[in-house]
Amino acid sequence: MVASKGQTATKPQAPSSRPVTPRGVLARGLAQPSPLERAERLRDAIEQSKLSAADPWGYAAKARAWRQRAQQLVDEIARSGDTPALQRGLDTLAAEVEGDRDFQEARRRA
């Protein structure tokens, strides 16, 4: 790069390999969904999985119980806010649902 008189030459910088996050996104908490949003998404994913389950009749009872637990978490989080106990309950339910072979198959088929 050639510098004109009185200016110093600067080398162009290579693009960063790190993804750029818009300014303020992390500060506003938009990078991670809130516990309420997580619970709602889990409830909706369970409901959606019932439509694409390989064995809908066998899967329905399990999905209904999960959906009820997810709805209870949605209601509690909306009422009480994010508490450690509710966070643990949400993490436990999410691990149970997402670790289930039938749920995984239903999501794959969707």
The pLDDT tens digits of the residues spanning 40-90 come to 999 999 999 999 999 999 999 999 999 999 999 999 999 999 999 999 999
pLDDT at 18 over 50: no
Q: How confident is the model at residue 31 (pLDDT cuts 50, 70, 90)?
A: confident
pLDDT of residue 8: 57
The CA distances from residue 65 to 31, 62, 70, 109, in Å, are: 30, 5, 9, 21
Q: Tell me the Ramachandran region of residue 96: left when phi exceeds 0, alpha when psi lies from -120 to 50, beta otherwise.
A: alpha
Residue ranges covered by each domain of the chain: 34-109
pLDDT at residue 110 in the model: 85
Average pLDDT over residues 16-35: 59
Residue 20, pLDDT score: 47
Q: What are the angstrom distances between the C-alpha of 78 and each of 13, 45, 64, 90, 97?
A: 47, 19, 21, 13, 21
